Amino acid sequence: MGYADKLTERIDALADALRAAGVPQDRAASLLGSAATASMHALVLDAVLEEGLAPAEPEPVAQPQRPLQAAA
């Protein structure tokens, strides 16, 4: 079983636990949405680490050619 399948099972278990606890549907949806987002981030991080890719360096911010003047 892959990492994604394990995360899916855990989110399903969380959904079952929230239903069993009587958590209001809107609150459960918010929690499950957060869990899904966290899972996606974990999968992306796992893929990046597996590939041995380093995060891209940010582009330097260009400095203005001349100083800005304050409005009168």
Q: Would you say residue 70 has pLDDT above 60? A: no
CB 46 within 8 A of CB 3: yes
Q: Which residue has the higher pLDDT, 15 or 65?
A: 15
52 has pLDDT over 90: no
pLDDT tens string 56-68: 666 776 665 665 5
Spatial distance between the Cα atoms of 33 and 5, rounded to a whole number of angstroms = 17
Model confidence, pTM: 0.63
> CA 9, CA 18: separation in Å to the nearest integer?
14
The Cα 34–Cα 49 span in angstroms is: 22
Residue 72 — very low, low, confident or very high, per pLDDT cuts 50/70/90? Answer: low
- Residue 45 — pLDDT band, cuts 50, 70, 90? confident
Positive or negative torsion for Cα 31, 34, 40, 46: negative
